[in-house]
Amino acid sequence: MKYSIKNSSLITLQKEECLVVTVQLGKKQTSLIKDIDESTKGMISQLLKSGDINCELGKTTFLYASPNSPKILVVGCGQAKNFDINAAKKMIQAATKELITKQVKNISWDILTLNPAISGEIAKQLPQITSELTYSFDQFKSTKSEKPSLQKVTLLYSDKKTIKHVESQLSQGQIIANAIVSTKNIANMPSNIGNAKYLAEQGKSLGKQHSSLKVTCLGEKELAKLNMNAYLAVGRGSANESIMTVIEYHGAKDKKAKPYVLVGKGLTFDSGGISIKPSAGMDEMKYDMCGAATVFGVMQAVAELKLPINVVGVMAGCENMPDGNSYRPGDILTTMSGTTVEIINTDAEGRLVLCDALTYVERFQPKTVIDIATLTGACIIALGHHYTGVMGNNAELTEQLVKSSNQAGDKAWSLPIDSDFQEQIKSTCADIVNAAGRDGGTITAACFLSRFTEKYQWAHLDIAGTAWKSGANKGATGRPVAMLIQYLLNQK
């Protein structure tokens, strides 16, 4: 879809198929509404008076002024004084759904003129919302989904002082929307195709598209030389090779400046291993690599945004399957760091893959490290499907991530992580256990990871409740791509 911004004073010259305009509760209306009302001999004011046009937030009315005039979609925005970014999102969703239903192709829209204070935010959110509403994953369907009719959106804006900022925000929004689509496409891939090799191939392809990216893939031989025994143990029962894909971006003037590092859990399928999961819902375990898919999407956006910072993305690809060679409950593993782990549950595998990857990234001397993982069902119990859980060893970093989530409209919530919880991961025969029971399960999983992140500032994002949806609308959400891109934008 194409997006652009034009001066609203040129509305009479617009040749789009449809004009989308907003009305508000009360007698005061925008100058554009007044112009249209005058050109239609009072039609708008008559319909407002009769109640045929509803000014409540998100209510839509389609008008056909004359055969030679553009169609008009009137969208209510409620009280003008209450029109904030959340109201704008609801209005965008309502209008976009109606435009798709009516199979409109090209529109001009005055939404940016409603509240100049948030015009940049609106411009940034609009491509993301329209992309979400028009996305479909039909690669494996015999009959493909119809392509969405809406192809061109022209936003009307007349403030010359701020138009460059708004245009920049619109461009960022498009890049973020594309990154989310890439993340969803990878995450939705079935496990018989989307294995660790597939992740590596996607990483290499991204590297070929952007000269600013350096991609390195480490197979099982390379991982073994690094003593990444915990990582390797998880994939030991699988016929598919474990591969860790490292994507490096050097955008800072100082190419040796400390990078921001992202580590994504890439369990391309998680059966639970010997501690096998119940069969109901196991099909959704293809989404256990959403952390790695998120890293891919963010690195794509970083390259397209040409951020003036250094960033490293790690996709820790692996598959957890039961087999005669699988690791077992009761085994003791020696991690890359030298810490020993007693295996209590082979379904607590993500932290074993991540702990070695988190030790590996020490070599980059990172400024910060953020891991992203569909790690614990306990996070869904704590925060539902609304908030990503945030924990870490640095209060400033966790605060920055929560702030970025609010800016991006990609909700996150900080959970405590302290010494009281560390007691739960003690082992009688090794340094730590890999599973500490149900109580505080999200936090004790983070406590496990914290043992491997003492040499840098680190945060852990548990996306088990936010990375995908179940049921009739089953599919990846692309979260928390927007939050992480916003965090990196804030570091410029």
pTM, entire model: 0.95
Whether 492 sits among the annotated catalytic residues: the reply is no
Mean pLDDT of 364-374: 98
| pLDDT higher than 70, residue 66 | no
Mean pLDDT of 417-446: 95
> Please, how many CA atoms are within 13 Å of residue 63, restricted to the half-sphere of its CB?
26
- Between CA 350 and CA 265 the distance in angstroms is 7
Q: What is the DSSP string of 365-424?
A: --SEEEEEE---THHHHHHTTT-EEEEES-HHHHHHHHHHHHHHT--EEE----HHHHGG
Q: What is the pLDDT of residue 348?
A: 98
- Between CA 128 and CA 215 the distance in angstroms is 28
Q: What is the pLDDT of residue 39?
A: 80
Mean pLDDT of 284-302: 98
Mean pLDDT of 139-157: 91
Mean pLDDT of 4-13: 66
Of 26 and 353, more confident: 353
Strand order in the sheet with 432-433: 332-334, 340-342, 432-433
List pLDDT tens digits, range 354-364: 999 999 999 99
* Residue type present at position 357: A
Mean pLDDT of 430-458: 96
* Residue type present at position 67: P
In which band, very low, low, confident or very high, does the pLDDT at 8 lie, cut at 50, 70 and 90? low
Whether 277 sits among the annotated catalytic residues: the reply is yes
| pLDDT higher than 80, residue 490 | yes
Whether the CB-CB separation of 154 and 109 falls below 8 Å is answered with yes
The two structure tokens encoding residue 174: 């498009």
Among candidate residues 89, 124, 236, 351, the one labeled active-site is 351
What is the overall mean pLDDT for the chain? 94
Q: What is the pLDDT of residue 9?
A: 55
Q: What is the pLDDT of residue 10?
A: 45
* Residue type present at position 187: A
The percentage of the chain sitting over the pLDDT mark of 90, rounded to a whole number, equals 86
| pLDDT higher than 60, residue 14 | no
- Between CA 339 and CA 447 the distance in angstroms is 14
Residue 372: burial class (beta carbons within 10 Å; 0-12, 13-18, 19+): buried
Mean pLDDT is lowest, of 70-74, 137-141, 427-431, for 70-74
Q: What is the DSSP string of 270-301?
A: E--TTSPPPSTTGGGGGGGGHHHHHHHHHHHH
Mean pLDDT of 436-449: 95
Whether the CB-CB separation of 295 and 481 falls below 8 Å is answered with no
List pLDDT tens digits, range 190-248: 999 999 999 999 999 999 999 999 999 999 999 999 999 999 999 999 999 999 999 99
Q: What is the pLDDT of residue 147?
A: 86
Among candidate residues 277, 367, 403, 469, the one labeled active-site is 277
Of 399 and 34, more confident: 399
List pLDDT tens digits, range 433-442: 999 988 999 9
In which band, very low, low, confident or very high, does the pLDDT at 321 lie, cut at 50, 70 and 90? very high
The percentage of the chain sitting over the pLDDT mark of 70, rounded to a whole number, equals 97
Of 157 and 222, more confident: 222
First-to-final CA distance of the chain = 28
Q: What is the pLDDT of residue 13?
A: 44
| pLDDT higher than 80, residue 68 | no
- Between CA 338 and CA 392 the distance in angstroms is 22
- Between CA 197 and CA 217 the distance in angstroms is 9
Q: What is the pLDDT of residue 65?
A: 65
The two structure tokens encoding residue 370: 């953020």
| pLDDT higher than 70, residue 11 | no
| pLDDT higher than 90, residue 329 | yes
Mean pLDDT of 107-112: 92
Closest by Cα among 355, 260, 257 to 299: 260
Orientation angle between helical segments 481-489 and 163-187, nearest 10 degrees: 140
DSSP helix/strand/coil, 316: strand
Phi, psi of 270 (to 5 degrees): -125, 100
